[in-house]
Structure formats: structure tokens, C-alpha cells
């Protein structure tokens, strides 16, 4: 029911930065979680970062200190600021919103390469 649209991906050099956005439709009332997962070629999908409407965050160990997730509650939009990018960050990044169930975006490519 909830439509999620990701933007901000693309090609970046190692050490560079990208900012992903995921815009949901309308507003969510009550407690909810939004976040990001990623899947690299030949690899299992992994959770990257999540934030709930109360402001609590969680990060995968591989991105701690480099990525930051934030939430605009009024816009139901989650952001992922990615700094100090490494080639191993190359993946398709998927946004999700969880209330009673998971809602997923279609994914957006992030490629880190020189």
C-alpha cells in the first residue's frame, strides 16, 4: 500500500560520498521503522541501517562510523548519508518501511569504483 521511491544512487570514487533518499507517500501515524538493506552481486542481502520514528538507530558493523541514517517523520522520508565509500559498498540498496509489515522500494544502484 505504501509506495517508496529511492533516489541519489550512482557512481562514485572510493573515498567519496553519496546521499540516498527514500520518499514514502503520505504520513505514518504511530511507531514505525524505516531503513536500508543492500545486496551485492552473488551475495546475500544484508541490513545496512535502520531508524525508528522515536529516533533509535542501528547500523551494520561494516558501515559504522561511515554511514548515517536519518528520518524526516513529517515527510515519511529516510536518508542514508554514505561517506568514505569503499568498493565493497557496491550494491543495490533497498529502502524499507515497516509498520505491521515490510514495504520495499525497488532498489537503487550504488557503484564505488575508480
Residue with cell 551475495: 43
Nearest to 38 by CA among 16, 12, 14, 67: 67
**pLDDT of amino acid 28:** 82
pLDDT at 26: 77
Condensed to tens digits (0 to 9), the pLDDT of residues 56-77 reads: 999 999 999 999 999 998 889 9
| Ranges assigned E (strand) in the chain | 4-7, 10-12, 18-24, 33-39, 46-52, 57-59, 67-72, 77-82, 91-98, 102-104, 108-112
Q: What residues pair up with 30 in beta bridges, in sequence order?
A: none
pLDDT at 72: 93
- Looking up cell 565509500 gives 85
**List of the chain residues with pLDDT < 50:** none
Please report the pLDDT score of residue 69 as a whole number: 98
Nearby residues of 29 by Cβ (< 8 Å), 6 or more positions away: none
* Cα separation, 6 vs 108, whole angstroms: 6
Query: What's the pLDDT score for residue 21?
Result: 98
Amino acid at each position: 500500500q505504501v509506495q517508496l521511491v529511492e533516489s541519489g544512487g550512482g557512481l562514485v570514487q572510493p573515498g567519496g560520498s553519496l546521499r540516498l533518499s527514500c520518499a514514502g507517500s503520505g504520513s505514518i501515524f504511530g511507531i514505525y521503522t524505516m531503513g536500508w538493506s543492500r545486496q551485492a552481486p552473488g551475495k546475500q542481502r544484508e541490513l545496512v541501517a535502520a531508524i525508528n520514528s522515536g529516533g533509535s538507530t542501528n547500523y551494520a558493523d561494516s558501515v559504522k562510523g561511515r554511514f548515517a541514517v536519518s528520518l524526516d517523520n513529517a515527510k515519511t522520508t529516510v536518508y542514508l548519508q554514505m561517506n568514505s565509500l569503499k568498493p565493497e559498498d557496491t550494491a543495490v540498496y533497498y529502502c524499507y518501511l515497516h509498520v505491521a509489515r515490510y514495504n520495499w522500494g525497488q532498489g537503487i544502484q550504488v557503484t564505488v569504483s575508480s
